[in-house]
Amino acid sequence: MSDNGVLSGTFFMNGDEACAEGAISAGCRFFAGYPITPATEIAERMSERMPQVEGVFIQMEDEIASMNAVLGASWAGVKAMTATSGPGFSLMMENLGLGVMLETPCVVVDIQRAGPSTGLPTLVAQGDMMQARWGSHGSYEIIALVPSSPQEIFDLTITAFNLSEKYRVPVLIMSDEAVGHMSEKVVIREIAPDDLVSRKKPRVAPEKYQPYKPDKDLVPPMAIAGEGYRFHVTGLTHDEKGYPAMTAEAQDRLVRRLVDKIRLNKKDIIKYEEVSTEDAEVIVFAYGITARIARRAVQQARDEGIRAGLLRPITIWPFPEERVRELAGQIKAFVVPEINYGQIVFEVERCAGGKAKTILVPHMGGAVHLPQTILEAIREAVR
């Protein structure tokens, strides 16, 4: 471990631990959380590691407090994160919206477990995917990443911090209990300071500063508390000065900018992985732990002579619409396995626009798919 407490080297750790280390490598120095299976290990590791890197860990009284403490710390100028699972994610929704409205950089991790409600606390599911997009009220756009291995959760946590700082928006990491609790090799590389993004600082004197006056990229520079900018920010619809503005015009301007800030920068934000899609007749669209099983099924299908491919979103929100639309024109069908009763499949279907079939392979939760199940769906798709 280096002098400043940040790790580097090759480790054998589980997804939760890798997520914590990713945050630390990204410069996260504040964590507020609440115990919840299967994300508790993130809080536990952070409680140990934050003091080692001169950060602050606090266990708050509930998830709502955790989300708010993260926002507060971010406004004090610190990169901040919280982690939870389904029930806590639901609690955090209102204040995730506050984070969006105040344009606060932060990272929220959801290690999904089977729901609804208390569900199966210790077992995997992917049932919060739509909630990630639409969970808070109002019209807004969010960024959500889906890792499928401990190594990837380490890498994507760094990406999440960078995106949240660049676009001044909370970024979600939609992982699952399988990835969170599986232990694998994780290479923790040294991150060069230039590879880490921090929020833009104001370039004008405090008297001239307007907290929500955007630059060309639609992202306003962010002042933090205690530096003399004397700003006011509010969850009410506001104008560029940050003052409440109770008009339809102000609402139109603000909501459009908050959404366009993400939508117009999709090319920078959206990432996905493709395996043998060039000549595919059927493509499996899978994410998270399911993608790993899908990889096997695709391989088996290829062995049988079916031209199968895999499209694995790494960014799930904003959804990789263009690529799905493009591929829909070239293939017979999308096969969408997910550990829920159909969530992302509807996005795939929407983007496929009827040009390709969309076949859901659901699993209600509690376990992962078998490659066999996905393989059968692939066979069915090309019959």
Partner 1 sequence: MVTVVNKPIDQYLRVDRMPHIWCAGCGIGLATSCFIRGIERAGLDLDKIAVVSGIGCTGRVAGYVKFDSFHTTHGRALPFATGLKLGNPELKVVVFSGDGDLAAIGGNHLIHSARRNIDMTVICINNFNYGMTGGQMGPTTPLEARSTTSPYGNFEYPFNLPYLVAASGATYVARWTVLHLRQLERSIAEALVKPGFSFIEVLSPCPTVYGRMNKRAKGLDEMHYYQEKSVIRNGADPKEADIAMDGPIIVGKFIDIKRPTLWDYRRQVLDKEFEKKRPQPDKGDVASHEE
> Which CB sits closer to partner 1, 116 or 244?
244
Shortest spacing between CB 309 and partner 1, in angstroms:
36
Q: Which is closer to partner 1, CB of 232 or CB of 271?
A: 232
Contacts of 256 (CB under 8 A, 6+ apart): none
Rounded to whole angstroms, how far apart are CA atoms 355 and 96? 36
Beta-strand ranges (E) seen in 47-176 are 56-59, 80-84, 106-114, 120-124, 143-145, 170-176
Q: Does position 207 bind partner 1 by CB under 8 A?
A: no
User: 58 pairs with which residues across the strands?
Assistant: 32
Task: Tell me whether residue 130 or residue 224 sits nearer to partner 1 (CB atom).
Answer: 224
Does 62 contact partner 1 by CB under 8 A? yes
Residue 103 and residue 140 in contact, taking contact as beta carbons nearer than 8 Å: no
Q: Which is nearer to partner 1, 67 or 293 (CB)?
A: 67
Q: Which stretch binds partner 1 (CB under 8 A): 50-58, 84-92, 147-155, 325-333?
A: 50-58
- Which of 233/331 has CB closer to partner 1? 233
Give the whole-angstrom CA distance, residue 29 versus residue 10: 22
Closest CA to 18 of 148, 109, 145, 154: 154
- Touching partner 1, residues 76-135 (CB under 8 A): 76-78, 80, 94-95, 98, 102
How far, CA to CA in Å, does 69 sit from each of 31, 54, 94, 134? Answer: 9, 18, 14, 22
Burial class (CB in 10 A: 0-12, 13-18, 19+), 345: buried
Task: For the beta carbon of residue 325, count every other beta carbon within 10 angstroms.
Answer: 15
23, 42, 43, 65: which one binds partner 1 (CB under 8 A): 65
Q: How many residues bind partner 1 (CB under 8 A)?
A: 57
Tell me if 210 contacts partner 1 by CB under 8 A: no
Q: In this chain, which stretch among 54-62, 149-157, 299-307, 357-365 interacts with partner 1, using CB under 8 A? A: 54-62
Within a 10 A sphere around the Cβ of 105, how many other Cβ atoms? 26
Show the binding pattern over residues 221-260: x = contacts partner 1 (CB under 8 A), - = does not: --xxxxxxxxxxxxxx------xx----------------
Q: According to the binding rule CB under 8 A, does residue 75 interact with partner 1?
A: yes
Binding site for partner 1 (CB under 8 A): 1, 5, 7-13, 30, 32, 45, 48-49, 51-52, 56, 58, 60-62, 64-78, 80, 94-95, 98, 102, 223-236, 243-244
